[in-house]
Chain A
């Protein structure tokens, strides 16, 4: 179709990409603009929403950081995220190695089983989970999340790492064992250093998974001092019936942009995991 007029091809490609970018990314641009809009400007429906009809202001950002629990939410999310990442690594790395190398045929079945567990969603389990959390005395505390989130992150991380370990040639470990290392040491000294990129990918995705999670956080926690970003922002940053929109938009964009940036780096690994290694990203 474009053989005779190659320049048309570029126009075609750029315009389609542009249209999709408009749909997918423009809301964020809009959120960014809204962040700095003065109340007078924003709450006038005749005003052009895309321009600053009144000069932009940092007031809403100040409100967000000084007069709300936003910083607390970040802190809680960070603590939960870090703790969950550590727990996940401790559980998933050995499990993945075991499934990849040490348990043979039924290891594959177990691996698929792990993956299927990932398909039992929080929205199915959240009610009994809530009772269990209350019974453990962890309700209304970030500890409830720290204990429960690994149920989501361990299966997926194990699956991803399993594929990763499998792609490392077994010859390397065997050479190490011939050299005198035990299987355990071979794992630590040979396989681990080679798996850094896979492990980093796990860290990134586990952390973002904890950022995304909503229903457990909504169900288990009621005090704002214990809330994480995902629930805190939509629920808490509303005073009575009043939505402080600019601050809300700011709160969202501040999380979205860095996460999106980092995600882009590790996307290929994620796709590998999702497609069960059918496609090397």
Chain B
């Protein structure tokens, strides 16, 4: 019986051909399809995006006529774009600061053992797991100008309505007023990204050896000191990763603003991706849209380099 099995296996090996044994070639064969796919459907469009941005391509006129920096100049001259670029940074930076602070608190308490922890974790990641558009829809209704439950609560407490702190109006109109709309967008960004950052932080905190934490206790450090001076520095790479992913997901996101405000009121909550959509697809000026979208790239490049630096630092230590 043993003989038949080894003969069978031997035959299989030979039937697979020498290729199955030549590791370098096998490696190429395994890798090539994915590389080709990516180059064709990511690399090529990327080059196209650059080409478009220097041309006058529209939905109607598909010929690629070179126009130099005209698109970029007109973009930078438009107040909507400048505001959009500003908002992209403002939203991303503020939401990330909030997220890091909140994720620290939540990660610490979630590290405790308490009843219903599995359920709690599921509820915590729900905003992240839900398709962005659908989660944002929920907030669209939560912040509705006429029927928001927040308005109702504020009315009951007396903050809205005659004599109230924000009164005598009955509704906050969260999405219709410039700064309130911006703040609402930030809240939704935080809501959506907090779960991911928290979970990453949680994983980082549990990877710290118990000995170190015990030693800090014996050394007389308070809980806060241990957290800030011992634990957090030990998980810097992980923190940075959580931060960088948060930046990417928020900075390049188009859905939240599109569903929540469509860039309104007026153009006050536009961000770069939504403006690219409005200009390029809705407006049909593909070249201008492409040029707008390209402004995302420098930030992404910066993030990518930071991530690489972190990865390298982790390999060393």
Contact = CB atoms under 8 A, between A and B. Distances in A.
Direct contact between A and B judged by beta carbons closer than 8 A: yes
Nearest to B237: A278
A65 interface: no
Interface in B275-317: 276-277, 280-281, 286, 289-290, 293-294, 296-297, 300, 303-304, 307-308, 311, 314
A71 interface: no
Contact of A276 (B62, B122, B124, B314): B314
Contact of B254 (A30, A147, A214): A214
B9 A181 contact: yes
Interface in A233-281: 233-234, 243, 245, 248-249, 251-252, 255-257, 259-261, 263-264, 267-268, 270-271, 274-276, 278-281
B134 A233 contact: yes
Contact of A230 (B9, B133, B138): B133
Interface string A20-52: 110111011011001000000011010011100
Interface stretch (A54-62, A91-99, A190-198): A91-99
Nearest to B110: A17
Contact of A127 (B10, B30, B195, B293): B293
Contacts of B141: 31, 34, 243, 245, 248-249
Given A117-B42, A181-B13, A278-B204, 20 more contacts: A17-B106, A25-B127, A50-B149, A94-B34, A98-B26, A121-B248, A123-B252, A124-B296, A127-B280, A128-B48, A128-B51, A131-B62, A132-B44, A154-B34, A158-B34, A182-B16, A214-B258, A252-B134, A260-B123, A271-B203
Contacts of B129: 208, 256, 259-260, 263-264
Contacts of A249: 137-138, 141
A252 B135 contact: yes
Contacts of A132: 41, 44-45, 48
24 contacts: A17-B114, A20-B102, A28-B126, A31-B141, A45-B146, A95-B30, A103-B31, A119-B300, A121-B273, A123-B272, A125-B49, A127-B276, A127-B281, A127-B289, A128-B52, A185-B20, A230-B131, A233-B133, A234-B259, A255-B131, A256-B130, A256-B131, A263-B129, A274-B242
Interface of B: 6, 9-10, 12-13, 16, 19-21, 23-24, 26-31, 33-35, 37-38, 41-42, 44-46, 48-49, 51-52, 57, 62, 102, 105-106, 109-110, 112, 114, 118, 120-139, 141-142, 146-147, 149, 151-152, 170-171, 191, 194-196, 199-200, 203-204, 206-207, 222-223, 237-238, 241-242, 245, 248, 252-255, 258-259, 272-273, 276-277, 280-281, 286, 289-290, 293-294, 296-297, 300, 303-304, 307-308, 311, 314
A112 B255 CA distance: 28
- Determine the main DSSP class of B at the interface with A: helix
A261 to B, nearest CB: 6
A148 B122 CA distance: 30
B49 A279 contact: no
B199 A267 contact: yes
Nearest to B287: A127
Contacts of B106: 16-17, 20
Nearest to B18: A182
Contacts of A280: 203, 207
Contact of B293 (A91, A110, A124): A124
Interface of A: 1, 10, 13-14, 16-17, 20-21, 23-25, 27-28, 30-31, 34, 42-43, 45, 48-50, 90-92, 94-95, 97-99, 101-103, 107, 110, 112, 114, 116-117, 119-121, 123-132, 147-148, 150-151, 154-155, 158, 179-185, 208, 211-212, 214-215, 218-219, 229-231, 233-234, 243, 245, 248-249, 251-252, 255-257, 259-261, 263-264, 267-268, 270-271, 274-276, 278-281
